[in-house]
Amino acid sequence: MDVIDSIEQQISAHPVVLFMKGTPDQPQCGFSANAVQILKACGVEDIYAVDVLADSGVRQGIKEFSSWPTIPQLYVKGEFVGGSDIMSEMFQNGELQKLLTN
């Protein structure tokens, strides 16, 4: 299975997928830590996280897959949501909570 197929499989198999640097328990950058905090504040307990630092192919592949240049990247119900800044904005205006509960 190539990287893109693996990414597609992960996104379709889990309702909330966060491609991040590190893990939810030990984020390796501030943006990834912020993304995890936002998801937890929204009540998401089961974050399926993919540590892009563990595999350079995934780190590059997810950027190509989404056409988004930065990490973290959030996918909800198979759809790309955005990075930490977009998550923050959506959380502030209540959109992210609605997306995660629908």
Task: Write out pLDDT tens, residues 31-87.
Answer: 999 999 999 999 998 889 999 999 999 999 999 999 999 999 999 999 999 999 999
Dihedral sign computed on CA atoms, order 65, 95, 88, 85: positive
CATH of 3-101, one of 3.30.360.10, 1.10.3480.10, 3.40.50.1100, 3.40.30.10: 3.40.30.10
For the annotated binding site for [2Fe-2S] cluster, the residues are: 29
Average pLDDT on 12-29 reads: 97
Q: 27, 36 in Cβ contact below 8 A?
A: yes
**Would you list the domain boundaries of the chain?**
3-101
Q: 59, 52 in Cβ contact below 8 A?
A: yes
For the annotated binding site, the residues are: 29
What Å distances lie between residue 91 and 13, 32, 59, CA to CA? 24, 15, 25
